[in-house]
A = this chain, B = another copy of it.
Amino acid sequence: MTHRDLAETRFDLWAPDADSVTLLADGRKLPMSRGTGGWWTAGDAPRGADVDYGYLLNGEATALPDPRSRRQPHGVHGQSRTFDASSYQWGDGAWTGRQLAGGVIYELHIGTFTPEGTLEAAIGKLDYLVELGVDFVELLPVNAFNGTHNWGYDGVLWYAVQEEYGGPEAYQRFVDACHRRGLGVVQDVVYNHLGPSGNYLPRFGPYLTQGSANTWGDAVNLDGTGSDEVRRYITDNMMMWFRDYHVDGLRLDAVHALRDTRAVHILEEMTVRTEAAAVALGRPLTLIAESDLNDPRLIYPRAAHGYGLTGQWSDDFHHAVHVNVTGETAGYYEDFASVAALAKVLTHGFFHDGSYSSFRGRRHGRPLDPHGTALWQLVVCIQNHDQIGNRATGDRLGAVVGFDLLAVAAVLNLCSPFTPMLFMGEEYGAGTPWQFFTSHPEPELGKATAEGRIREFERMGWDPALVPDPQDPQTFIRSKLDWSETSGHGPDGAAHARLLEQYRTLISLRRSLPALTEPDFGSVRVEFSEPERWLVMHRGTGRDAVSVAVNLGDEPRAVPIAAGATVLFSTGEGVVPDGAAKVSLPVRSAVVLGALVA
Contacts and interface: CB of A to CB of B under 8 A. Distances in A.
Interface string A361-395: 11111100000000000000000000000000000
A98 to B, nearest CB: 29
A304 B369 CA distance: 11
Contacts of A493: none
A305 B300 contact: yes
A114 to B, nearest CB: 39
A130 to B, nearest CB: 38
Contact of A228 (B224, B256, B363): B363
A264 B364 CA distance: 8
A256 to B, nearest CB: 6
A133 to B, nearest CB: 34
B297 A263 contact: yes
Interface in A247-275: 256, 261-264
B362 A228 contact: yes
A294 interface: yes
A360 interface: yes
A416 B263 CA distance: 24
Nearest to A227: B362
Contacts of A262: 293, 295, 363-364
Contacts of A365: 263
A226 B361 contact: yes
A354 B354 CA distance: 32
Given A300-B305, A306-B305, A295 B263 contact: yes
A492 interface: no
A296 interface: yes
> Chain copies in the assembly?
2
A361 to B, nearest CB: 3
Interface residues of A, number: 29
B304 A261 contact: no
Nearest to A221: B362
Interface string A226-253: 1110000000000000000000000000
Contacts of A297: 263, 305
Contacts of A227: 361-362
A224 B361 CA distance: 7
Nearest to A212: B212
Given A304-B304, A305-B306, A263 B226 contact: no
A223 interface: yes
B366 A264 contact: yes
Contact of A362 (B226, B356, B361): B226
Interface in A448-476: none
A225 interface: yes
A43 to B, nearest CB: 28
Nearest to A291: B263
Interface string A293-314: 1111100100011100000000
B263 A225 contact: no
Interface in A79-105: none
A228 B356 CA distance: 9
A306 B225 CA distance: 27
Contact of A263 (B261, B296, B304): B296
A354 B264 contact: yes
A263 B294 contact: yes
A365 B223 CA distance: 11
A362 B261 contact: no
A67 to B, nearest CB: 18
Contacts of A223: 362
A293 B261 CA distance: 8
A267 to B, nearest CB: 13
Contacts of A364: 262-263
Nearest to A372: B305
Contact of A224 (B261, B304, B306, B362): B362
A568 to B, nearest CB: 37
A263 B354 CA distance: 8
Interface in A297-333: 297, 300, 304-306
A225 B300 contact: no
A225 B295 contact: no
Interface in A59-87: none
Contacts of A294: 263
B261 A256 contact: yes
Nearest to A369: B305
Given A228-B356, A262-B295, A264-B366, 17 more contacts: A224-B361, A225-B361, A225-B362, A226-B362, A227-B362, A228-B363, A261-B293, A262-B363, A262-B364, A263-B297, A263-B354, A263-B364, A263-B365, A264-B363, A304-B304, A304-B305, A305-B306
- Can you list the 7 inter-chain pairs with the closest CB atoms, starting with the nearest? A225-B361, A263-B295, A263-B366, A305-B305, A227-B362, A228-B362, A264-B366
25 contacts: A224-B361, A224-B362, A225-B360, A225-B362, A226-B361, A226-B362, A227-B361, A228-B362, A256-B261, A261-B293, A262-B293, A262-B295, A262-B364, A263-B293, A263-B294, A263-B295, A263-B296, A263-B297, A263-B364, A263-B365, A263-B366, A264-B354, A264-B366, A304-B305, A305-B305
